[in-house]
Amino acid sequence: MNSINWLGLMSGLAGGLGLFLYGMKMMSEGLQKVAGNGLRGFLEKLTMNRVVGTMAGAIVTAIIQSSSATTVMVVGFVNAGLMDLMQALSVVLGANVGTTITAQLISFKVGALAYPAIGLGVVLRMFTHEKKIHYYGEVLIGFGLLFTGLDVMKDSFVPLKHNEAFRHAFVYFSTNPLMAVFAGAILTMVVQSSSATIGITIALASTGLIDFYAACALVLGENIGTTITANLAAIGTSPTARRAAFGHFLINVLGVAYMLFFLKLFIAGVDWFTPGDPNFINAEGIRPDIDRHIANLHTGFNILNVIVFLPILHLLAKLCEKIIPGKDSIEHKLLFLDDRLIETPSFGVSQAIKEVKRMSGVSIDMLKLSKECFFERDRKKINAIFQHEKTVDLLERDITKFLVKLNQQPISEQTSQDINSMLNVLHDLEKIGDYAENIAKYTEKIIDGNVVFSEPAMTEIGELFDVAIRFAEEIIKAYNKGGMPKKVNTDDEDLIDSLRKQLRMKHIDRLHDGSCTVENGILYIDILNNLEKTGDQVFNIAQIVMGEIK
């Protein structure tokens, strides 16, 4: 038995796997930044059609190069009530196909491009000023590191070819495919990346440590192991979100189960379709053709799963509902956000925009209710404002927490600007709610004290209410439409300031002629001041819309 330098071997494996995983991460993040809002918009067009959902899952995963990220994102969408179970399962089916692009990329002999890609990527990243060019640089660096790590792992496995104990251990996988499936699943659960374990499998096979049959069984197990990420992400979520994660596991387990019965036949089909002999060993002891065979088996297996399970997706959904019972709670503080969306910043921003839009609607409702309760002396509407204020405070807190976490992710400059704008708008919307609440409190004092204002005072303050509400509705509507910066009409802000001054002078005149008491006047002025401050907060949002505040 030949002596093996175990320290060198383990160092090589650890370093090679580290390079592979980091390269994969950098390439995935760079691709997400390049795709940006376009990827977000694509998913927005997702429909209830299971075929469209499958295609979308495949395309999104191929772009972001991570089925785990896609499935975790799907769990987040389901938990936020944005996808139903059928739609989620169709996306998961597509994600399984999309993730095979990585193996296909590895299988083509493009490793020679690794060092030039890293060199060019560093130039684009360090010596250019355009952000978009930086992202392309990150993609190239990640691409190069991925293949460099794969080569290091291949070189590290070579000494094991001459070790009889390891040769016998790997031969065991060829005669016991069930154990190979189990080993592949466990390895993927530990590494948390099916792309990495596919890379390890290709490295083992190409260096001659395992044959094509054993490699195929390992690949099947890796398809099961990759489902652990989504199931871990689903802990503590709604029953439907847990069903979506379990559905991913169920689809892959059932797929592997039927495939084990037909594995030799399927392998023969892949061998017929793919050029070269997977078991041919050249003079260097390398199997040059096995990479393509493993990649095609991986892709073929997942495409076959789509063909098998897509027509019966509704039955799988019902099975998931039986296994994981329970009803979703509708009492969510956030309707569109879930921390699992942080893994995909562009989608997280898209959903945060919806949540801010929802919050803006509540703030506008509070402003309108403040006018109604003032004129109608309606305690029910006062209490409604107090309830809305709790909602606005919770929304500001939770959306802000989400955006702060999102801002710590690798994001594009545009995404960072969007987040900063939302953080500013959240504060302004919360303050608008505060001023409406203040008016409700003053109205409560007016009702308790049976305070009566003169008819001219009521008419004047009604005019100020109308201008403040109109200004808020127009500016917030412009913000929610997006497409900033753009010109908006801010004349109402000056009108609010002018009206407040005029009404204050008229109030002083009424004090002088005795038609208004000091106590009444204090409440009157307080309401004027809060409406004027409301206009200031709306003007802040207008400046964001016009691009004057970023």
Residues 499 and 385 in one domain: yes
Alpha-carbon span 513 to 454, nearest angstrom: 13
Average pLDDT over residues 474-501: 89
Give the pLDDT score at 466. 94
Residue 472, in any domain of the structure? yes
Q: Measured in whole angstroms, how far is the alpha carbon of residue 270 from the centre of its chain?
A: 35
Q: 63 pLDDT band (50/70/90 cuts)?
A: confident
Q: Are residue 311 and residue 412 in the same domain, yes or no?
A: no
Question: Is 4 among the domain residues?
Answer: no
Same domain, 368 and 316: no
Lowest mean pLDDT among 110-124, 125-139, 149-163, 213-227: 149-163
Residues 312 and 394 in one domain: no
Residues 290-303 as b/e (b if ≥16 CB within 10 A, e otherwise) read bbbbbbbbbbbbbe
Q: Which of 288, 323, 358 is the last residue of a domain?
A: 323
For residue 22, pLDDT over 60 is answered with: yes
Dihedral class, residue 364 (left if φ above 0, else alpha if ψ from -120 to 50, else beta): alpha
Final residue of a structural domain among 259, 288, 323: 323
In a shared domain, residues 277 and 355: no
Q: What is the mean pLDDT of residues 520-532?
A: 86
Residue 158 lies in a domain: yes
Residue 281 sits in the same domain as residue 362:
no
In this structure, what token pair is assigned to residue 237? Answer: 């979520």
Q: Contact 247/320 with Cβ under 8 angstroms?
A: yes
User: What is the CA angle 46-48-50, rounded to 5?
Assistant: 95
**What does the pLDDT read at residue 332?**
42
290 pLDDT band, cuts 50/70/90, is: confident
Question: How many domains does the chain divide into?
Answer: 2
Q: Are residues 146 and 184 in the same domain?
A: yes
Confidence (pLDDT) at 504: 83
Residue 81 pLDDT class (50, 70, 90 cuts):
low
Is residue 280 in a domain?
yes
Q: How confident is the model at residue 237 (pLDDT cuts 50, 70, 90)?
A: low
Per-residue pLDDT at 23: 80
The band of 330, judged by pLDDT with boundaries at 50, 70 and 90, is very low
Nearest to 31 by CA among 141, 122, 120: 141
- Convert the pLDDT of each residue in 164-177 to its tens digit: 666 566 666 667 78
Q: Are 142 and 122 in contact (CB under 8 A)?
A: no
Residue 329 lies in a domain: no
In this prediction, residue 163 carries a pLDDT of 61
For residue 1, is pLDDT > 50? no
Global pTM? Answer: 0.62
* Alpha helices in 80-193, H assignment, sequence order: 85-98, 100-107, 114-126, 131-157, 164-175, 177-191
Q: By C-alpha distance, which of 49, 133, 150, 122 is closest to 91?
A: 49
Report the alpha-carbon distance of residue 209 to residue 160 in Å, rounded: 7
Residue 6 located in a structural domain: no
- Of the candidates 259, 317, 359, the residue with the CA atom closest to the CA atom of residue 84: 317
CATH code of 437's domain = 1.20.58.220
Q: Which tops the pLDDT comparison, 381 or 232?
A: 381
pLDDT-above-70 percentage for the chain: 84
Both 48 and 78 in a single domain?
yes
d(CA 472, CA 22): 47
Residues 3-15 have pLDDT tens digits of 667 677 778 778 8
Domain assignment of residue 238, given as a range: 20-323
